[in-house]
Structure formats: C-alpha cells, structure tokens
C-alpha cells in the first residue's frame, strides 16, 4: 500500500476491506513520505520493519526484486490525486497489478496514458468507485438491464456533504487540504472528489453513457481556489435525461447519496444512508421494498454475490469496499494461475471507468466555463 499513514481517512478503510475476506494480506507499505509516520503505521498493522518504506519508488523497485511468494502481488494506491499516475505507472511497469482510488489521475492526459499502459502490460487495475460496489447498485443494474423498468427516461443522482462549508483546509493537517488545491486534486474540487462518484453511479446503474452536459460549478466558501459544489443536466444515450448535483457545503449533511432511475413502467430509488434498501416503483401495483440479503431469491445472482449476510443484518461501506478488493484479488489470482476469472469476479471498475471519469471532469469544466452551454462529452485531453 502507498499512502494511508497517520490520521488518513481512506487508507485504513482500504486495508480493512482488503483483509476481511481472507483473500489478501498486507505484506509491505509506504504509508507516508515521513519515515516515522510510515514506520508507526506499518507497526500498527504488524508489518515486518524490513517491509516498511519511506519512499514509494524504493518500495516498488525493491519489492519487484524479491523472489516469487515473498514479493507483494499488487499495490493499493491511496495517495492524493496528483500522485496516482506516477505511482500506478511505475507499479504497472514493474509488473504489479494496481488498486487505485478515484479519481484515477490528476488529469485526463494521465488517465489516457495509464489506460495505454494497462493495455500494454496486461496487468489488472481496479478503481475504487466504492458506492457502485454496494449490492443494491448491482440489483439496480441487473433489473434495468433486463428491462424491468421499461425504456429508461429520467435519472436523478445527487451527492450531498457539508464538511467543507467552511475553509477548514486553512487549519492544515486535514484531508481537506489537498482536496481543495488544484495542484494536488486536479481540475475538480467537489467535482473530482464526489461529483465523479455520482456520475459513475448513474452510468453503472443504467448501463448508459453520458453524451453531453450542461454544467454549473460553484465556489461558496470565499477564496477557495476550486469548486465546492457542482451541478449538471445530463444527456445519456437513447434520449435518457439526468440531473446530477453534488455539494460539500450543505451544512450538517454527512454523505447523502441518492440515485433514482425512472423508466416507462417503473422506477428504482436508492439512498446510501440506508444502503440495504431499494424501492421498486410500479405503475400498476404498490411499491416493493427490495431488501438486500443473501437469502432472497428475488435478487439477482450478481447481487447476492456481493452480500455476506441475511436480510436485516446491515452491511455497510467497508463491505462495499471489500467487494471490490475480493473481486480484484480473485481475478488477479485467477490470471496468475492462467485461469479465466469467473464473470462474477470481474464486477469491479477498471482503467476504462477511470478514463471516463476524467473525461467527465473535463466535460463538466468545459461546460461550466462556457456559461452552462451544452457541451459534448470530451474524449480528447484538453
């Protein structure tokens, strides 16, 4: 693992999620640029000190030189956005598979280069769009794909947080710092941090791609050099229309993500704050409450493969992360063994999702910069 030292938020989550299924062990790490921090973190995780590094390049190169069976199998990258590309690129070059947090890179250009590198090396890259890894999202995708809602029409997706309503990045020492600095986060603030999750959820659930956007980026906290709020009308393939909004200045809101999809004959409604429930709207009978649980035969096989518990035993955020890690691990192991992975294991976001995510950011910024003009999806780097 690269990153996740000290009081980092997402690194420890990656680790717990990776460990819980018994498919992955932590064997080495460079948790911080500061060796003391890296060492303290590594010790906390009971790592051998010889495998705790202060320099990620050193770690990648040294691990690559270790014998089979001892060498790490893959690397998880949980650093600020601007480090994703160099770290992932070197890991791929050295023959490692990679898990990387979203957004995949700092720029679209980097994303395209990473895509090329993955194709060239044949390695596996997983992108942790964790919200799409909830079982309920898989159920949405499955039901929509098989036509339960009829022809799709409307998508509403939103992501509401309040933790950046004040300029807490000025206090220093917190996770707000790099997220609100374009040099480390890239072109998107709220847009890159959570807007890209919202967009991804909508494409994942519907199986449709956005083709053009009409966007507005806003900065509500005085002096912040990047957006802390974004919104867009979206046009998807096949005439489907969407509304997306994400904000980090909605005071008192924690992490409220909602997705609603309506077709000609039905609708599906999901909220991350109660992730194990899905409402299925009908035009001719009462709404059904689709509860997630591995014992419900009316859930898709793919959905049940993402759950561990019977209904009424809440699964949460870490389990969702663990779905990505387990599928990634099973896929990587199969490929190591020259075996075709079970299609159920391939259920994780890849470098292609990462490229589209960076294109989404570029498209949004382009539209917002042109006063909300409808802007076609940006395929080329700008």
Q: Least separation, in Å, of the C-beta of 34 and a second copy?
A: 21
Would you say 65 or 68 has its CB closer to a second copy? Answer: 68
Would you say 294 or 350 has its CB closer to a second copy? Answer: 294
Q: Within 13 Å, how many C-alpha atoms sit on residue 67's CB side?
A: 1
Q: Least separation, in Å, of the C-beta of 8 and a second copy?
A: 12
Would you say 35 or 220 has its CB closer to a second copy? Answer: 220
List the Cα angle 172/176/179 in 5-degree steps: 125
List all residues 6 or more positions away from 35 whose beta carbon is below 8 Å from its beta carbon.
54
Of 341, 348, 365, residue with least CA distance to 102: 348
Would you say 128 or 161 has its CB closer to a second copy? Answer: 161
Q: Least separation, in Å, of the C-beta of 140 and a second copy?
A: 14
Count the neighbouring beta carbons within 10 Å of the beta carbon of residue 374: 12
Q: Least separation, in Å, of the C-beta of 278 and a second copy?
A: 9
Listed in order, strand segments (DSSP E) in 30-149 are 74-77, 97-100, 125-127
Would you say 188 or 267 has its CB closer to a second copy? Answer: 267
Q: Least separation, in Å, of the C-beta of 281 and a second copy?
A: 3
Please tell me the distance from the alpha carbon of residue 261 to that of residue 283, in angstroms, as a whole number: 14
Contact between 356 and 208 (Cβ < 8 Å): no
Would you say 124 or 161 has its CB closer to a second copy? Answer: 161
Please tell me the distance from the alpha carbon of residue 339 to that of residue 348, in angstroms, as a whole number: 18
Q: Least separation, in Å, of the C-beta of 142 and a second copy?
A: 15
């Amino acid at each position: 693992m690269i990153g996740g030292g000290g009081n980092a938020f997402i690194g420890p989550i990656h680790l717990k999620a990776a460990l819980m299924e018994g498919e992955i062990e932590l064997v080495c790490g460079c948790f911080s640029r500061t060796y003391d921090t890296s060492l303290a973190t590594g010790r906390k995780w009971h790592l051998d000190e010889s495998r705790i590094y202060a320099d990620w390049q050193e770690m990648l190169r040294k691990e690559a030189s270790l014998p089979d069976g001892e060498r790490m199998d893959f690397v998880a990258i949980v650093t600020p956005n601007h480090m994703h590309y160099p770290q992932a690129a070197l890991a791929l070059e050295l023959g490692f598979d990679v898990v990387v947090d979203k957004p995949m890179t700092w720029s679209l250009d980097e994303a395209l280069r990473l895509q090329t590198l993955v194709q060239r090396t044949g390695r596996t890259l997983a992108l942790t769009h964790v919200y799409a890894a909830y079982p309920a999202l898989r159920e949405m995708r499955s039901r929509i794909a098989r036509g339960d809602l009829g022809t799709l029409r409307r998508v509403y997706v939103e992501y509401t947080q309040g933790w950046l309503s004040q300029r807490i990045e000025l206090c220093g020492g917190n996770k707000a710092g790099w997220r609100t600095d374009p040099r480390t986060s890239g072109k998107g603030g709220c847009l890159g941090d959570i807007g890209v999750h919202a967009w991804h959820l909508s494409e994942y659930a519907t199986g449709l791609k956005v083709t053009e956007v009409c966007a507005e980026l806003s900065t509500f906290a005085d002096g912040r050099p990047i957006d802390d709020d974004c919104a867009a009308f979206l046009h998807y393939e096949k005439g489907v229309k969407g509304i997306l909004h994400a904000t980090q200045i909605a005071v008192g809101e924690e992490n409220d993500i909602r997705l609603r999809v309506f077709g000609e004959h039905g609708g599906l409604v999901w909220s991350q704050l109660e992730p194990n429930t899905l409402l299925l709207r009908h035009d001719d009978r009462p709404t059904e409450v689709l509860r997630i649980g591995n014992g419900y035969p009316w859930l898709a096989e793919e959905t049940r493969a993402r759950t561990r518990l019977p209904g009424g035993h809440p699964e949460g955020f870490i389990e969702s992360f663990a779905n990505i890690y387990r599928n990634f691990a099973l896929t990587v192991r199969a490929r190591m063994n020259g075996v075709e992975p079970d299609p159920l294991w391939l259920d994780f976001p890849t470098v292609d999702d990462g490229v589209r995510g960076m294109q989404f950011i570029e498209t949004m910024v382009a539209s917002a910069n042109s006063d909300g003009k409808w802007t076609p999806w940006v395929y080329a780097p700008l």
